Amino acid sequence: MKDIVFSGVQPTRNLHIGNYIGALKQWAHIQQQHHCYFCIVDEHAITVPQDPKLLRERILTVAAVYLAAGIDPKRSILFIQSEVPQHTELGWLMMTVAKMGELERMTQYKDKSKKGGTVGAGVGLFGYPVLMAADILLYDTTIVPVGEDQLQHVELTRVLARRFNEKFGETFVVPQPLIQKIGARIMSLQKPDAKMSKSDESEMASIFLTDDNDTIRKKIMRAVTDSTTGVTFDPEKKPAVSNLMTIYHHMTGQTMKEIETAYEGKGYGDFKKGLAEAIITHMGPVRDKIEHYLSDPTSLNKILDSGRDKAAAVAEAKMKVVRERMGLGR
């Protein structure tokens, strides 16, 4: 039996190699066997301030990145969240199912609202996981591939689906999260205890998918390492080098043992040179493809139109059931 897979990326800032390893690369693989929806979640992006003009540009860039990473529009449904209004509709209805206490416990909300305090935090930021639950539940999703940071949101989705089903009758499929083992969390090149994040202030913390070869080399050579020497995989004792090895593994397919053997007796300088070249070899073609897709907006728009129509048909069928179960309308 085929699974139904749903996942999404926010069109905020530049996508980085953490997004690629933790999300896109995995999706391109999953679509070979399952029925997939890959969404550009622009309505999630606006839970923090965005420049409207830049947001529009980034939405198309993310679409190009999806395609460049190997998402095949003939196999998978690729669409923009705000073009299927059933997402916000179900998001609101699920707001009436979720509880304050559940949302207050979400670590992403706690982190993102920390700066200004919860009094000044946007209500959208607070309700963010409920919209995410709506995204997932509209399509009878069985599998949600995400990075570790999103696990809590998928767990909340499961709770909300069950609660709704108990109250209003079987309506939603309870989805399972899917976390990749190695590299579920790629860490910052500058602070190995923080995840590589689009919102990091330091450019040096992340390898962006659009970085040129020299920038990749520079960032890797300046990446922090650990106080002990030796290229060995030990996330507890050697978090910085283990993170770089994880990236190496994803770029080359080599196991940690193979990487350790290849760099036995060598210093971090040699390892970093090898890593930079491995990234360039793997990511260079992806970068070229992003450019290629962006240079042909007509084809890109056709793909997004078709994705929107297919997604909307499924979402509306589900909403008809939901509205009826909840007693809305006539």
Q: Give the footprint of ligand LTN on this chain (CB under 6 A).
A: 6-8, 10, 41, 44, 132, 135-136, 144, 146, 150, 153
Q: Is 195 a catalytic residue?
A: yes
Which is nearer to ligand LTN, 199 or 298 (by Cβ)? 199
* Binding residue count for ligand ATP, defined by CB under 6 A: 19
Select which of 2, 25, 53, 112 is catalytic.
112
Nearest approach in angstroms of CB 14 to ligand LTN is 15
Which is nearer to ligand ATP, 146 or 304 (by Cβ)? 146
The residue written with tokens 């190699």 in the block is 17
Select which of 25, 191, 198, 237 is catalytic.
198
The separation between CA 257 and the C-alpha centre of its own chain, rounded to angstroms, equals 28
4-12, 31-39, 121-129, 279-287 -> range binding ligand ATP (CB under 6 A): 4-12
Which is nearer to ligand ATP, 22 or 129 (by Cβ)? 22
Q: Is 219 a catalytic residue?
A: no
Cβ–Cβ contacts within 10 Å for residue 268, how many? 19
Nearest approach in angstroms of CB 139 to ligand LTN is 10
Determine, following the binding rule CB under 6 A, whether residue 9 of this chain makes contact with ligand ATP.
Answer: yes
240 Cβ contact list (under 8 Å, min separation 6): 187, 192, 223, 224, 225, 226
Which is nearer to ligand LTN, 149 or 260 (by Cβ)? 149
Which is nearer to ligand ATP, 199 or 227 (by Cβ)? 199
Rounded CA-CA distance 234/55 in Å is 39
Select which of 25, 195, 219, 272 is catalytic.
195
- Residues 107-146, one symbol each (x = binds ligand ATP by CB under 6 A, - = not), give ---------------------------------------x
Tell me which of ligand LTN, ligand ATP, none is bound by residue 135, counting a contact when its beta carbon lies within the kind-specific cut-off of 5 to 8 angstroms. Answer: ligand LTN
Tell me which of ligand ATP, ligand LTN, none is bound by residue 198, counting a contact when its beta carbon lies within the kind-specific cut-off of 5 to 8 angstroms. Answer: ligand ATP
Nearest approach in angstroms of CB 141 to ligand LTN is 8
12-20, 30-38, 73-81, 316-324 -> range binding ligand ATP (CB under 6 A): 12-20
Residues carrying an active site annotation: 112, 195, 198
